[in-house]
Chain A
């Protein structure tokens, strides 16, 4: 009997340990946000809001604000033209306008208008990386307006267009169907 009692106590002890290990290895409770191995901490909503700068094709991540083609022309001339040229066709940095119907030729010109499949990508990129010498310095209204000007120069929106979050995510870019998932390996063996 005494032996049995000992075994029972061992079993209880073992199951307690099992319980502890399962906490360490796979157990999560709703209020346990200290991270596995006890590392990391839960970010505040404010922290996530500040860091969460990406913009998806669905429009998720686009902020409030708006811009017109005319405003965009002014912002572009002041902050973009020095690298991309007065009409965004001269360079020296990437050409942004034109190149339509060149992708099947021997001299393809890949621009926002001829190549980019999603207009939302413009917001994501301009907001995080442009202007090159002062990234993350543009206001949402400046970004929307530069996008409006670029899309108008490419014949995608009218001269009186006003670009905002819902307008931008609804734009169908000319080369939207121009991409296919990686089919490689695509070269037959000799």
Chain B
């Protein structure tokens, strides 16, 4: 668009704004106050080509026009998946789950102890860990309890409420294998206790399988800066593809052992109770899941074109295929995967759709590089029953009502 055209468009916007401001004057006092607050903000940028902008800032923040937030409760907060672009979750919007608050740890006093079945127990400062050869990768972290409403009756909730306990970041740190080489792991060591320095003293047993030895990291960086406190500042364990809880935050100790330590978190919690009374234990991998984020729960849409978008991810590797159905699963069509498509990362998919104003049911299903296919809710519950609280990855159904309202069914 030419400068001239742009300028004219802006004038139109400005006139529209002034008109709406004038109509606000006619409204009640409360509304008027709110209207004025907004008008002040907008007025400042009414013609940004005619006034100097603000000066540089030492630490940036998003535009005041952007309002997406985590949905926060006392011990967790959920990522607004419906508001994200691409695959990275901004650190400020990364979901949280903690079991006795977020500790305020001073990195100059924090230490990591590695001991147990090792040749040479070692204790490291954070600064020393940052001097090891660094590694970096993108990975999603998903709470094992994400999407847990799927085990129960469907509630009229948003995609953030239902599936917002997953986020993708670039993580930077030192490979676990590097540190295990440094301490000299004894051959009989097959498990490792990871312990956090928070008020829960979170402790989990990690199997020292090849996948862990190849991919696990002790991280101090997230999206280019230090970890956020909610994500484990100053140190966390990263086990790409594994349930969130075992990616122990505020990491202070690793202890090598010959058997799992059977902590509360891997016995009483994070185990999946089947209908026969037996429970799956050490269900660590988060299996492939996809969900349409736009349109999604409690949104209102209009007839016409919609770029259906969503996210798919698998703890076993890359997403290779996503299919979308707009008729409740009778017909499926291939969605486009938006680059980049990375292993154990959120992958964005898109599907162009024209809504004709009739009732519709939107679904997505994905396949990962191992050939694993995301199951329907019925298929999942046929095998596991509905006594589980964790590891739900069934297909999400969004019903589009004739009035355009989107509802979880």
Contacts and interface: CB of A to CB of B under 8 A. Distances in A.
B201 A136 contact: yes
Interface stretch (A4-12, A36-44, A83-91, A160-168): A36-44
B131 interface: yes
A10 to B, nearest CB: 30
Nearest to A185: B372
B12 interface: no
Interface of A: 28, 32-33, 35-37, 39-43, 47-48, 51-54, 56-58, 94, 103-104, 106, 108, 110, 112, 115-118, 120-121, 124-125, 128-129, 132, 135-136, 178-190
B338 to A, nearest CB: 25
Contacts, number: 163
Given A104-B277, A186-B384, 7 more contacts: A39-B124, A40-B124, A108-B277, A115-B268, A129-B199, A187-B375, A190-B379
B182 interface: yes
Contact of A182 (B277, B284, B373, B376): B284
A182 B133 CA distance: 34
A54 B255 contact: yes
Contact of B122 (A33, A104, A112, A135): A33
B253 interface: yes
Contacts of A32: 120
Contacts of A39: 124, 128-129, 131-132, 182
Interface in B170-199: 178, 181-184, 193, 195, 199
Interface in B75-123: 99-100, 113, 115, 119-123
Nearest to B119: A28
Contact of A51 (B119, B253, B257, B375): B253
B351 interface: no
A178 B279 contact: yes
Nearest to A186: B383
Given A28-B184, A41-B122, A52 B255 contact: yes
25 contacts: A33-B120, A36-B182, A39-B128, A39-B132, A40-B182, A43-B121, A43-B122, A47-B123, A51-B113, A57-B259, A106-B387, A108-B273, A108-B277, A108-B387, A115-B267, A115-B268, A115-B279, A116-B267, A116-B268, A118-B262, A121-B264, A179-B271, A179-B279, A185-B372, A187-B382
B268 A103 contact: no
A115 B181 CA distance: 38
Interface residues of B, number: 62
Interface string B367-407: 00000110110011011100100010000000000000000
B154 interface: no
B383 A128 contact: no
Given A40-B128, A121-B267, A181 B287 contact: no
Interface of B: 99-100, 113, 115, 119-124, 128-129, 131-133, 178, 181-184, 193, 195, 199-201, 203, 252-253, 255, 257, 259, 261-264, 267-268, 271, 273, 275-285, 287, 372-373, 375-376, 379-380, 382-384, 387, 391
Contact of B278 (A37, A51, A128, A180): A180
Nearest to A104: B277
A178 B277 contact: yes
B79 to A, nearest CB: 25
Q: Chain A interface secondary structure, helix, strand, loop or mixed?
A: loop
A103 B277 contact: yes
Contacts of B380: 187
Nearest to B275: A104
Contact of B282 (A108, A182, A185): A182
B261 A52 contact: no
Given A54-B203, A178-B279, A47 B268 contact: no
B100 A42 contact: no
B263 to A, nearest CB: 6
Contacts of A117: 262, 267
